[in-house]
Amino acid sequence: MLLFHHQSSLHHDPRALSPDHPDRPERLHAIQAALTEAGWLGCELVQAPAATPAQLALVHAPEHIDSVRRLCEAGGGHIDEDTFVDETSYHAALHAAGGAMEMVRALLGGEAHTAFSAMRPSGHHAERDRAMGFCLFNNVAVAAELAIRELGLERVFVLDWDVHHGNGTASIFRHRPDVLFASIHQSNLYPGTGSVNDAGSGAGLGYTINIPVPRGSDDEVWLSVLEHVIIPAAQEFRPQLVLISAGFDGHHRDPLSDCRLEADSFGQMAAQVHDLGAAVRAPVGAVLEGGYEPSALAESMLTTIRGLKGEIASESIAPDRLVTSRAAAHVGHFWSL
């Protein structure tokens, strides 16, 4: 398994302008310490290159890319009430996007079957022309678009299990049938998008799967909708590449949500995705999103890596009577469940 990283991820620090900001370099320090103690779980470390503005323009407006660059070069500032940058942030964001893209090149080039780009800032909230929610550029969307536009794929599946809806990724691909986007997220949480009724639009109708879960949902709910709704749809879609927006803020110790997942919950979700990749013969890559309690993040990251490597056996769970049945009623209009 390949693990993409870069030192610039440790420099981006929104606390320069927002002292209590939860997206801190300590998040990655905790991951690195845990992986070091675990002998890096057999992962091969790879230095992430920087994306070029032209590469970011696969999914972002040039004006947006330039505005982020100019703000950082001027010393930083706030983009919105949650999103802050300093003079290092543009450089870090280029490497975060570049790591996700290089990960896809490596996976499709046969260098590995699984990989993880563990970098920050995160990306899944970033829209074509807007940074928001701690995210500057949409790392997973750029990687998916690279796979299609430049590496010749016809179908990419993106699973977003961050507790916040991946509005940016959904928006970028909502009119497209070549990217199946599925999100499990806490309902009525930032950014307020991701209704179960939103299935995409135009040629992309049915290729967006949104499953909001109630606050307090535990792994029985999350694993149930993944196993009984999302995975069957993805199997029918037959992706040639599987990407995960891997946020760990659904953990019960995370300060930004009210879900009740454990570190082992993420290992089980990863195991299900590993099995999906094996079934459709597609490589699997993950991109780090949220997770704001450092020790919970590190524990969850380790179990995810083990699950993606096939070291955790996936376990079947009974469908949740309320959430799963409601999701299936919507998704079943477009996919055989």
Active site residues: 125
Q: List C-alpha distances in Å: 265 to 225, 269, 274.
A: 13, 6, 14
Residue type, 57: A
Burial of 255 (0-12, 13-18, 19+ CB in 10 A): exposed
- The owner of tokens 């929104």 is 14
Q: List C-alpha distances in Å: 170 to 30, 69, 166, 181, 186.
A: 30, 24, 6, 7, 16
Long-range Cβ contact pairs of 16-23 (< 8 A, separation 24 or more): 16/76, 16/84, 16/86, 17/76, 17/77, 17/78, 17/84, 17/86, 18/78, 18/84, 21/84, 22/255, 22/256, 22/292, 23/120, 23/121, 23/122, 23/134, 23/292
Closest to 250 measured CA to CA, from 274, 215, 285, 225: 215
Q: Are 183 and 199 in contact (CB under 8 A)?
A: no
Strands 208-213 and 179-186: parallel
Bridge partner residues of 185 (DSSP): 212
Q: Which two tokens stand for residue 226?
A: 């993944």
Q: List C-alpha distances in Å: 253 to 219, 295, 304.
A: 14, 9, 17
Q: Are 181 and 168 in contact (CB under 8 A)?
A: no
Biggest distance spanned by C-alpha atoms of the chain: 54
- Give the separation between CA 231 and CA 199, rounded to whole angstroms: 16
